[in-house]
Every structure is written in structure tokens, then in C-alpha cells.
Amino acid sequence: MPSFSFVPSLRTDKSFNVGLVVVILFAVAEFFAASVHYLGRRRPAQTAVAAPRAMPAPLPSAAPSAPPVALAVASPIAALTPATSTVSVADRLRKQAEAARESGDTVSALTRLQDASQRDPRNAEVLAEMAMIYESIQNFDRSAETWRRVQEIGPSAGPLYELADMKLKTGVPAAPESATGSALDTGRPASALDASSVRSTAEGIPTGSALGITEVTASETPDPDSETNLMLRIAVKKRPNAVIDHTKVKIQVFFYDTVGDNEIKLTDADVSYEWLTPNHDWADSNSETLAVTYIRPKSKAKSAESDLAAAAAAVNPAKKGKPMKASPPPEAGSRKYLGYVVRVYYNDQLQDKRAEPTKLLTLFPAPLNAPPQ
């Protein structure tokens, strides 16, 4: 009977197991060695990376420089906004003051101008307007002081700087003295009204003006048909060697009456004007003379209040004179002649002014620019 032997097979299996164990141990050793090597390299790398992370500590020292940059940009904007607002408020107050002055409310006008000056101390237009009002109410010290403030602004004030400089060099004119007799008198005897009505400045022409009112004479003529018959002769003289465009000359004459309990109103009498010199263009002569007549008839009925504006004669030498008549108002019997205001404008800029009585300059200050007609 055949038989099999298993000894060689057992030896083979034992050798195989020994080899397998050796291979496994070698693999474990390799793995362990590789792990040690890998961990050895990673730990220094982490240390090298971690070290720079501690370095940003100095950065906070640079942080404070950022806010000043932002503030430097923002602060000019914040500074400009109030200035613009202040200027606009000052201009608005100046316009309100002009309106108040034209309506005769000089107290309100000065109050607004002083407020505007406090808001914008270097506003030359505000200061000039204030100086002119002070001059019109004969507060010459305050007027000179205000003109000095305009002068201190310097050439940036434009023409107002030159005007202020001129005013301060020559002095703000005081109220002119009354005089008797006149070159304008045409031979008729001067009445008491004549003697108190002649006006002239020491310079003849205000410094800085191209034209000036050198003389104003009011003469009253006895007239049985008239309650008042008065002629105003106004001599307007140009500065020597000045060239005058007569189309740009405006002469405004306003007559005023007292009504009832001394209320002052523009007259409703008949007013007409006539040039006494032939050409009235200041080309052949330095002086031209305008005559304005005020007549209040005794028997003539008077017109409504709406016609009062027609009594103010606005004269342009380029236009031929013609009588201006206003219909009489109901209260004509209670009206009495009070006085006049004369203003001369050239190129819409005030050149000179006169009034009798002088309080009319305070009650009705002349605007620096000719109002539209």
C-alpha cells in the first residue's frame, strides 16, 4: 500500500513564516524610521514658521499715523462749510438792509448791516453801505471809521477800496453851510427860502465822483393862483477834463410835503423840469443847470394816493424835459411843502446828493446804485 511523507512540507512552511516575519519587521522598522525622519523635519519647519508670527508686534506703532491723514482731509471741508454759510447770510442781511434803507428805516438798516458785519467782517459791500448810511445821517465819525475798515481790506475790495481811500484822504464831508446869494439866481430878489436853500460842498465835486451838485437854489414866486409856486435850480458840474456820456446821467428830484399831523409824504403837486443850459451834455461847459418847478394850485382838486410816484422827477439829460403832472388827492388842503431831495447818478453809480431839510437824507437815504425806473 503506498504511503506519503509530510516532513519537507512542514519545513517549507516554517521557512516561509520566518521570512514573512523578517519582512514585516523590516517594514515596521522602515515605517518607524520614515516616521521619525518626517517628524524630525516637520518640527523645525513649524518652529521656523511660528517664529515670524511673533514679529508683527511692531505694527501697532504705525497705526496712529493713519488717523491724522483722515483728519487732514476732513478738516478743510468742515472749515469751508461755515464760511460759505456765513457769507450767504451776510449778503441776505445786506439786501434786507438795502430794502429797509430805501423805505426810510435807517435804524433797521443799520441793525442788519451791523449783524452782517459781525458775521463777515471783511465784506466790503456791507461796510460801504453802512458808511454811506452813517454819512447820510451826518454821523461822520462812524462813517470815517467804517470807511477805514473798507480800506484795511485792501485792493481785493475792488472799487470800494479806492472810494474808501478817497473818502479818508479828503475827509467825509460835513453838512454844508447855508449861504446867501447864488450864481444861479437870475436877478430876482432872494426870499428867506432862497437864503436857507443854497448848498455847495467845499470841494465842489465829491472826491471820486465824475459829477457833483455844486449848487441848489430854491426860489419861491408869489402867485395868486397857487398855494406854492417854487423853482429849484440845480447846478451839476463835471470834474475837470472828465469826458461825460450824457446818456448815462440821471438826476432824480423828489419833493416832499407834510400831511395832517406832520406826516411826510411824496408830493402830489404839479412838477415839471427844464434845462436852463442849451445842450446839457457837459461837452462845451463843465456845468449844466436844471430847473424843476413845484406848483400847488389853490383851486385845483387833488388826485388819489396812487399818483404820488409821478411827483418824483427822474431826469435823463439825453431826453427832452416835459412837464409831469399828478392828479390831486383828497387831503390836498392839508398838505404843505416841506422840502426836496436831489440825487445825481452816473453810469448807475451815486455821485452826489442834496436835501433841504437835511433830515430827509436820514429819512430817505440814497441807494448807492440807481434803482430801476
291's CB contacts (< 8 A; 6+ apart) are 231, 232, 233, 234, 273, 274, 275, 276
The H or E element spanning position 171 is none
Q: Where does the pLDDT of residue 73 fall: very low under 50, low under 70, confident under 90, or very high at 90 and above?
A: very low
**Helices assigned H by DSSP within the chain:** 7-53, 66-102, 106-119, 124-136, 140-153, 159-170, 192-195, 359-363
Domains of the chain: 85-170 (1.25.40.10), 192-363 (no CATH)
Per-residue pLDDT tens for 232-243? Answer: 999 999 988 889
pLDDT class of 162 with cuts at 50, 70, 90: confident
Which grid coordinates are listed for 110?
Answer: 443799520
Nine cell digits for residue 309: 410816484
Q: Are 124 and 159 in contact (CB under 8 A)?
A: no
Judged against a pLDDT cut of 60, whether residue 47 lies above it is answered with: no
Of residues 186 and 37, more confidently modeled: 37
For residues 160-169, average pLDDT: 82
pLDDT in tens, 111-120: 889 888 888 8
d(CA 160, CA 176): 24
| pLDDT at site 320 | 55
Query: The cell 475792488 sits on which residue?
Result: 158
Q: Is the pLDDT of residue 194 over 80?
A: no
Tell me what the mean pLDDT of segment 250-264 comes to.
91
Q: Determine the number of helices (DSSP H) and then strands (DSSP E) in the chain.
A: 8, 9
**168, exposed or middle or buried, with CB in 10 Å at 0-12, 13-18, 19+?**
middle
Is residue 272 predicted with pLDDT exceeding 90? yes
pLDDT at 288 over 50: yes
> Over 60: is that where the pLDDT of 64 sits?
no
Over 50: is that where the pLDDT of 25 sits? yes
Q: How many CB atoms neighbour CB 127 within 10 A? A: 27
Q: Cell numbers of 123, please?
A: 465784506
- Reported as a pLDDT band with limits 50, 70 and 90, residue 187 is very low
* Confidence category of residue 289, pLDDT binned at 50, 70, 90: very high
pLDDT score at 315: 62
Query: Which pLDDT score is estimated for 110?
Result: 86
- Mean pLDDT for 261-287 is 90
Identify whether the C-beta of residue 247 lies closer than 8 Å to the C-beta of residue 231. Answer: no
Strand partners, 228: 296
Q: CB count, 10 Å around CB of 252?
A: 18
The percent of residues above 90 in pLDDT, for the chain, comes to: 21
Amino acid at 166: M
